[in-house]
A and B are shown apart, each in its own frame.
Chain A
Amino acid sequence: MAKNLKKNKRFTKTYLSYLILILLVILAIFLMINLINNFNILEKKEIFASFIVSEHIGFDLNDSALTFGLVQPGQSSSREISVENNHEIPVLVNIISKGDISDFLIVSENDFILKPNEKKEISFSVFPLKDIEFKEYKGVVEIILKKI
């Protein structure tokens, strides 16, 4: 009886050790992938973006955010940003969007290379669908510069 109990205890201990090891390995793999992904990132800029679906048409030329103003369902609104590489090396520019604006946002160019001191204008457009709900749609545009 005591022998069995000792055996069970040892089995549970081994089982727990394996479980912890597996979790450690999974965590390590996850962090490693993250580390590799982030290793090449030189810089990241976040820009707030929004548009309001309305019966009217409206402008909002806020120069610190990508505000597309009032847009009617089925119509479109565009704004531009310029990206300039002041690093001494060429960089890969990757643009991603987050939030509920993402479903309606289109960028003119993505995953492009900028040489040192090169500047490029990128156009962002929102296209709310005809049956879209009348409300404000917000999100964030991330401009990520990576080493090539």
Chain B
Amino acid sequence: MTEKKLIKKKIDTISLMGYISILVIILSLANIGVRLTGRATDAGIVNVTIESKTNINFIVSGVDFGSGNLDLGVTSATIDTLGNVINGNWTAITQGFVIENIGNENVTLQLATGKNADTLLGGTNSVYQYNVSNSEASSCTESNVTLGLWVDVNSTSPGTSICNPLNFESSKNEIRVDIKLTIPSDANTGLQSDIFTATATAV
């Protein structure tokens, strides 16, 4: 094969690559164009629905009682997030959980725990309770609990309905959940924690 033919063949190959590249580019751009104009590939359509329900998990150790001991000679100590420490040396805390409805519709609110008094604290006559109150007036219409009273936690999913509804309107959409523990002298030792699950469902 002469040098001239070799060069011609090389040029032909290069030209061919160029033509193919241009063809691919045109086809790709045409495809994008077709898609942008809304080509229907089949008659079906997917339905995507966002459920009107949500769960938020929060950990009781987030309300940090820290470490502490029972006073000498007592059978139990009681601590809560309202600042009370009875028969023990825990640091008093005054911060419970604040739950807000920041959406634009009323919701029902259920509260469940992962553990009960026996599984969280153990021992004899341990107590694990919560107390729901309006942080902003008229936020929660009480359901299966009475606002402001201590009730035993419910570890059976989805928990206890506490507000029906919890309002969404600004300045009346906020409640507070306080925690109380009565720790007997024969309770479990070490760091104990639990997970609260608050489930909101649109009314």
Residue of B nearest to A32 (CB): B24
Residue of A nearest to B42 (CB): A87
- Chain B residues whose C-beta falls within 8 Å of the C-beta of A69 in the assembled complex: 54, 56, 100, 102-103
Residue of A nearest to B24 (CB): A28
Interface positions, chain B 126-173, Cβ under 8 Å from A, are: 166
Is B65 on the interface with A (CB-CB < 8 A)? no
Least Cβ–Cβ distance between A104 and chain B, in angstroms: 14
Interface positions, chain A 72-89, Cβ under 8 Å from B, are: 72, 74-89
Interface string of A110-132 (1 = CB under 8 A from B): 00000010010100000000000
A83–B45 CA distance with the chains assembled, in angstroms: 11
CB of B46 within 8 A of CB of A74, answer: no
CB of B51 within 8 A of CB of A67, answer: no
Number of contact residues on B: which range applies? Answer: 35 or more
Is A64 on the interface with B (CB-CB < 8 A)? yes
CB of B53 within 8 A of CB of A61, answer: yes
Least Cβ–Cβ distance between B132 and chain A, in angstroms: 13
Number of contact residues on A: which range applies? Answer: 35 or more
Partner of A42, one of B42, B57, B58, B59: B42
- Chain A residues whose C-beta falls within 8 Å of the C-beta of B99 in the assembled complex: 56-59
- Chain B residues whose C-beta falls within 8 Å of the C-beta of A45 in the assembled complex: 46, 48
- Chain A residues whose C-beta falls within 8 Å of the C-beta of B201 in the assembled complex: 61
Most buried by B among A34, A59, A83, A121: A59
A87–B46 CA distance with the chains assembled, in angstroms: 7
- Chain A residues whose C-beta falls within 8 Å of the C-beta of B82 in the assembled complex: none
Is A16 on the interface with B (CB-CB < 8 A)? no
- Chain A residues whose C-beta falls within 8 Å of the C-beta of B6 in the assembled complex: none
CB of B42 within 8 A of CB of A35, answer: no
A55–B103 CA distance with the chains assembled, in angstroms: 17
Interface positions, chain B 177-192, Cβ under 8 Å from A, are: none
A85–B42 CA distance with the chains assembled, in angstroms: 12
- Chain A residues whose C-beta falls within 8 Å of the C-beta of B101 in the assembled complex: 58-60
Least Cβ–Cβ distance between B200 and chain A, in angstroms: 4
Residue of A nearest to B103 (CB): A60
- Chain B residues whose C-beta falls within 8 Å of the C-beta of A56 in the assembled complex: 98-100, 174
Most buried by A among B20, B28, B202: B28
Q: A35-B28, A69-B102 are in contact. Are A77 and B57 (CB under 8 A)?
A: yes
A5–B99 CA distance with the chains assembled, in angstroms: 81
**6 A-B pairs in the complex with CB atoms less than 8 angstroms apart:** A31-B29, A58-B102, A61-B53, A69-B56, A79-B55, A87-B46
| A positions within 8 Å CB-CB of B | 17-18, 21, 24-25, 27-28, 31-32, 34-35, 38, 42-43, 45, 47, 55-72, 74-89, 91, 116, 119, 121, 143, 145
